[in-house]
Chains A and B, each alone.
Chain A
Amino acid sequence: MANVVPTRSEVLFLFRSLLRTARQFSDYNIREYTKRRTIDGFRQNRTLSDPDSIASAFSHGKAQLEIAKRQAVIYSLYAPKVKSIMDLKPCNSI
């Protein structure tokens, strides 16, 4: 399968899908990481101009989205009842 250069709207759609999937992670750390890595990854590849590089970055992103979708389901199945203290209301322990 040859790599096809994506349109601007396809890229934006992938970006939003990744962020939406990131928010579904029940685990605080994985959720924050997935959001951050998505934003940083797209920012880093913003300046790509070579069609081959754009196409391969896009297909890498799509593969990552598939992984994230599967793993968000798996994480939700084993989510602990008790949330991370980072997901609770601001620090009241002190």
Chain B
Amino acid sequence: MASKLLASTLRQTLLSKFATAHHVRPLSTAAAVAADYHEDTEGITMKGVKISGRPLYLDVQATSPVDPRVLDAMLPFYISRYGNPHSRTHLFGWESENAVEAARSQVASLIGASPKEIIFTSGATESNNISVKGVLHFYKDKKRHVITTQTEHKRRPRIRVEPQMNGGGQERGLRSGTVPTPLVVGMGAACELAKMEMQYDEKRIKSLQERLLNGVREKLDGVVVNGSEERRYAGNMNLSFAYVEGESLLMGLKEVAVSSGSACTSASLEPSYVLRALGVDEDMAHTSIRFGIGRFTTEAEIDRAVELTVHQVEKLREMSPLYEMVKEGINIKDIQWSQH
């Protein structure tokens, strides 16, 4: 009883006080490299940009916020159930192994596979390497070419996957290395949640996607949807704004966290190879912005993003001589550029 009381008092105290408390990370080495970074209750200054609040996150693609229900499933495996799932000699190992196998079933159930067909790897890059190189190696005596598409990773039936790294023989020898129980548990929980929530999320995210596109189109001309408008994943809206340079737009949109191009090339300024493969003109590909919408995105965020984007595009177009010429009826494609 006493401990219960203490816990509830502690919870109240934490909720009321810690919410405004300052965080010092005693183990963080960030201070040494973060001279450019300042954060207080007034706002954040970073890379020379001052923002009064944390930007709204519309970059929900491969990287998305962890659902609190998923985190709740993961935490016990960081705190008390820390066994190595490959340890066969004690309870810690057994319970972790059970958790990993339960997660394997959760993943399998979502995609309609058998748990035996699920191999946990570090991510998409490793999975692609294992399967593509596995096919290459399996057919190397008979066939010598692999034809793939630029835009997507096609699933290949009945592939014989082959290990790319050798070691302890975990994951049936296909992927050696200790399986990280908390991450795998999180993946399983996320899959189970996805199965349960997919219909609800899909409907909602689709309506946010429409809200975004309609909102932008209502106020701006020269807006092009990259990729199909009808047959597209609800959580993505990739737009090009004619006569606006994408990087300038991104720089002006500091309160909206979005990316240009596709995630694979987001570290470079090159327009996305995916966009070019879709047949988007080079000049339009340079103006592309990718909005990513997720389970936690709100209507108010979409409205704010529309407002900020429209404002920024209008501002940039006002400064653009190209846009002025177009308004005067000059066809940009007819212009003979000198010194090119």
Could you say which of B15, B296, B307, B311 contacts A29, with CB atoms under 8 Å apart?
B296
| A90 vs B15: C-alpha distance when bound (angstroms) | 26
Interfacial residues of chain A within 49-91, with CB under 8 A of chain B in the complex: 64, 67-68, 70-88, 91
CB of A60 to closest CB in B, whole Å: 10
Name, among A24, A72, A86, A91, the residue most crowded by chain B CB atoms within 10 Å (CB to CB): A86
Q: Are A29 and B18 in contact (CB under 8 A)?
A: no
4 A-B pairs with least C-beta separation: A85-B53, A29-B296, A71-B68, A88-B53
Chain A residues with CB below 8 A from B44, complex form? 82
Chain B residues with CB below 8 A from A85, complex form? 51-56, 255, 304
Q: Are B40 and A30 in contact (CB under 8 A)?
A: no
Question: Interface residues of B: mostly helix, strand, loop or mixed?
Answer: mixed
| A77 vs B307: C-alpha distance when bound (angstroms) | 33
Tally of A-B residue pairs with Cβ under 8 A? 93
Identity of the chain B residue whose Cβ is nearest the Cβ of A69 in the assembled complex: B11
CB of B255 to closest CB in A, whole Å: 5
Q: Count A interface residues, CB 8 Å.
A: 34
| B126 beta carbon closer than 8 Å to chain A | no
Interfacial residues of chain B within 1-41, with CB under 8 A of chain A in the complex: 11, 14-15, 18-20, 22-23, 39-41
| A7 beta carbon closer than 8 Å to chain B | no
Q: Are B301 and A71 in contact (CB under 8 A)?
A: no
| A88 vs B296: C-alpha distance when bound (angstroms) | 18
Q: Are A76 and B295 in contact (CB under 8 A)?
A: no
Can you list 27 contacts pairing A with B, beta carbon distance less than 8 Å?
A26-B19, A29-B57, A29-B296, A29-B297, A30-B296, A40-B200, A64-B69, A67-B68, A68-B68, A71-B69, A71-B72, A73-B14, A74-B68, A74-B71, A79-B19, A81-B20, A82-B39, A83-B54, A84-B53, A84-B54, A85-B255, A86-B53, A87-B53, A88-B52, A88-B53, A91-B304, A93-B308
Chain A residues with CB below 8 A from B296, complex form? 29-30, 32-33
Q: Count B interface residues, CB 8 Å.
A: 38
